[in-house]
Amino acid sequence: MNYQPPYTITSEILNLVASISEAVGRLSAITEQARALRLRRINRVRTIHGSLAIEGNTLSEEQITAILDGKRIMAPAREIQEVKNALAAYDRFDIWNAKNEKDLLDAHHVLMSGLINEVGMYRHGGVGVMAGQQVIHMAPPADRVPHLVSDLFS
């Protein structure tokens, strides 16, 4: 049972097969890279959505994606600004050092720009968490915050 194909394998055919294999390999790599970028983008949107939702932001993942794509959406200006700030912060994660006070304050500056007046610095007043009219958590006094952060980093 010696089968003889109806063609002759020549060096030209071998070169064409090699070229096709190379092109398929490149296409596979590009497709895999595109899939990884798409997953990273989806995770970025979901992370930002979840983080902001904890703070009361009501924008959906679709709205956050639209903002990421540079599209205009109908939503409260503050919530849009929170998303823009979170996207900007996300882009800087690789350059910030989690153990550096200057980077912490820079992150605060990026996240709070356009939302409060004192960005990138320690607060000067008291803050607390409210449930309706009731204070359920009172933060440490403002004058203690730098020392407490220093202790945290130590």
List the domain range (segments joined by +) for residue 152: 126-154
Q: The domain that contains 49 carries what CATH number?
A: 1.10.3290.10
Same-domain status, 72 and 143: no
Q: Is residue 4 part of a domain?
A: no
Q: Mean pLDDT across the stretch 60-70?
A: 96
Under 8 Å between Cβ of 116 and 127: no
Residue 120, pLDDT > 90, answer: yes
Which of 4-13, 52-61, 70-79 comes out lowest in average pLDDT? 4-13
This prediction has a pTM of 0.72
Three-state helix/strand/coil letters over the chain: CCCCCCCCCCHHHHHHHHHHHHHHHHHHHHHHHHHHHHHHHHHHHHHHHHHHHHCCCCCCHHHHHHHHCCCCCCCCHHHHHHHHHHHHHHHHCCCCCCCCHHHHHHHHHHHHCCCCCCCCCCCCCCCEEEECCEEEEECCCHHHHHHHHHHHHC
pLDDT at 92 (0 to 100): 95
Residues 22-39 have pLDDT tens digits of: 998 888 888 888 888 889
pLDDT at 80 (0 to 100): 97
Same-domain status, 98 and 144: no
Same-domain status, 66 and 116: yes
Same-domain status, 109 and 140: no
Residue 1, pLDDT > 80, answer: no
68-81 as b/e, with b when 16 or more CB fall inside 10 Å?
beeeeeebeeebbe
pLDDT at 27 (0 to 100): 85
The letter for the amino acid at 85 is: N
